[in-house]
A = this chain, B = another copy of it.
Amino acid sequence: MSRKYVLGLDYGTESARALLVAIDNGEEVACTVEGYPDAVIDDVLPTTKKKLPPDWALQNPRDYLSVLEQIVPRALKEAGVSGDDVIGIGTDFTACTMLPIDKTGTPLCMTEKFTSNPHAWVKLWKHHAAQPEADRINETAQKRGEDFLARYGGKISSEWFFAKALQILDEAPEVYAAADRFIEAGDWIVLQLCGEEKRNACAAGYKAIWDEGYPGTEFFKALDPRFENVVAEKMRGDIYPAGVRAGGLLPDIAKKLGLKPGTAVATGGIDAHVAVPAATVTGAGKMVMIMGTSLCHMVCGTDKKIIDGMCGVVKDGILPGFYGYEAGQSAVGDIFAWFVKNCVPASIGDEAKRAGLDIHAYLGNQAAQLRPGESGLVCLDWWNGNRCILVDTDLSGLMVGMTLATTPAEMYRAILESTAFGTYTIIRQLEQGGVPISELYACGGLPGKNPLLMQIFADVTNREIRISASDQTVALGSAMWGAVAAGVENGGYKNITEAAKTMARLRDTVYRPKKEAHAAYEKLYAIYLRLHDLFGRKGGDSAMKELKAMRHEFHS
């Protein structure tokens, strides 16, 4: 019998990626990427060439299909694999990325009547124009004492599903009326692949206030009487955990992709969440950190705990049978990149060039010579606000302790340390809330590039850190869910634990905390935590908010 494969389709912000993975050992035999032709639509609408208002970010759903027709056949060709040997497909998508569709599942923006209306297009996750609606949702929920607020750190984001849907109702009631459903793009792509609308618990739970049920009609009515039945009327379709077989690949699209009709298609997922089993984690107590420009923390617990300041807790949201907790830091790699772009003198650049290293690596080598506390610096890592545990976008960065002898390497190290303190704060909050975390796992772009960062994270958190072996951990996770959807009877796996045993791997390097370093970091962390509460919590110092308000007068 020939070797069998699964496809992981990873829909990112700018491009989609297809990862073809051997089912027997997780070997990644091909990886192809293609940018969306219309990319992120934040300037003018392609059809009308009319300028979009500030904070808008749309996408063209046609792109999701057109790139697929390129990356899948190309992956098969590159690997020399026959489509007949692909037994399952898993997908992950940015979220909340949502769109209005008609009865047939056609996006309204692809119909003649609505193609000129920007509200008929896909609202990308980073569409931030629904802030007034988010404010209304939060005020109304608070006034009504809705329980769900606590599950989401006390605040519903403007990026999420109902804020976006409510913006459509507010600004384009004709689109709202014409929409048969509103749907996550991640569920829409599954619908396109297999003709089945099986919405995924992950996006519903983390982005649409779903917790084995949506908020009640009274709440929606309080937002707007016309919104009362948004769930019953506009969000039909049941919710399923990850790894369920949504359906079989439709013949038409199978032909275009070079795959077999009927190939198992898994329910959709969110990028960070599908990375968890691909980092070998299939149970409770092990936190997976997806470390890139920002940092997502994923951990499963056996019980439902309401913990202040988290992004959300969702049953089956990460792994079936567990409560999935999501936390995050809104900027990590982004701060390092900001520092290297804005704060590193030419002399360091020249030295790095002579040493044949990029600036991060060169600064990292210098910073690695320093011991914890040696720089005399502490930062608050809030250059892009604080997502967890303070949930406040108006916070900003702080550095304290500079002297005339302070060096760029010292400042660089202090910034790395501050992001580790941010993660430590999240871990402590989860543990204090009853979700134990014994080990850390990391994936994403940073772990391979920045060994100093990983050692600092281990020393600060006093926990071992293991690194996912795959450079495409997210796409691998989708592929693994595809293997589970295929099922044992078709050569797949009976569950994600079994899939992870053969398909997911770790690197040999383990970052282990050093006792002495952790002891020094506990002292620095005490300062960090004091400043964190002082500048971040109510009743402390409002300097950051006052400064942001003054700045906004010039930058809005």
Chain B residues, CB < 8 A from A341: 345, 347
A343 touches B (CB below 8 Å) = yes
Q: Are A343 and B408 in contact (CB under 8 A)?
A: yes
Q: Are B547 and A342 in contact (CB under 8 A)?
A: no
A390 touches B (CB below 8 Å) = no
Q: Are B397 and A398 in contact (CB under 8 A)?
A: no
Roughly how many angstroms separate A530 CA and B535 CA in the complex, as a whole number? 12
A contacts with B, residue count (CB < 8 A): 54
Q: Which of A379-432 contact B (CB under 8 A)?
A: 383-384, 396-408, 411
Q: Which of A21-71 contact B (CB under 8 A)?
A: none
Roughly how many angstroms separate A397 CA and B402 CA in the complex, as a whole number? 5
Residues in A lying within 8 Å of B, measured CB to CB:
331, 334-335, 338, 341-347, 349, 371, 373-378, 383-384, 396-408, 411, 520, 523-524, 527, 530-531, 534-535, 541, 543-544, 546-548, 550-551, 553-555
Q: Are A402 and B406 in contact (CB under 8 A)?
A: no
Instruction: Knowing A550-B520, A553-B373, say if A331 contacts B400 (CB, 8 Å).
Output: no
Instruction: Knowing A346-B349, A373-B550, say if A400 contacts B527 (CB, 8 Å).
Output: no
Chain B residues, CB < 8 A from A405: 555
Roughly how many angstroms separate A408 CA and B344 CA in the complex, as a whole number? 10
Q: Are B396 and A376 in contact (CB under 8 A)?
A: yes
Roughly how many angstroms separate A341 CA and B400 CA in the complex, as a whole number? 19
- A344 smallest CB distance to B (angstroms): 6
Instruction: Knowing A384-B403, A397-B402, A527-B546, say if A375 contacts B551 (CB, 8 Å).
Output: yes
Q: In this complex, which of A335, A400, A527 has the most chain B Cβ atoms within 10 angstroms of its Cβ?
A: A400
Chain B residues, CB < 8 A from A383: 402-404, 406
Q: In this complex, which of A374, A375, A544, A551 has the most chain B Cβ atoms within 10 angstroms of its Cβ?
A: A551
Chain B residues, CB < 8 A from A400: 396-398, 535, 543-544, 547
Instruction: Knowing A396-B376, A554-B371, A554-B374, say if A404 contacts B523 (CB, 8 Å).
Output: no
Chain B residues, CB < 8 A from A396: 376, 400-403
Q: Are A342 and B406 in contact (CB under 8 A)?
A: yes
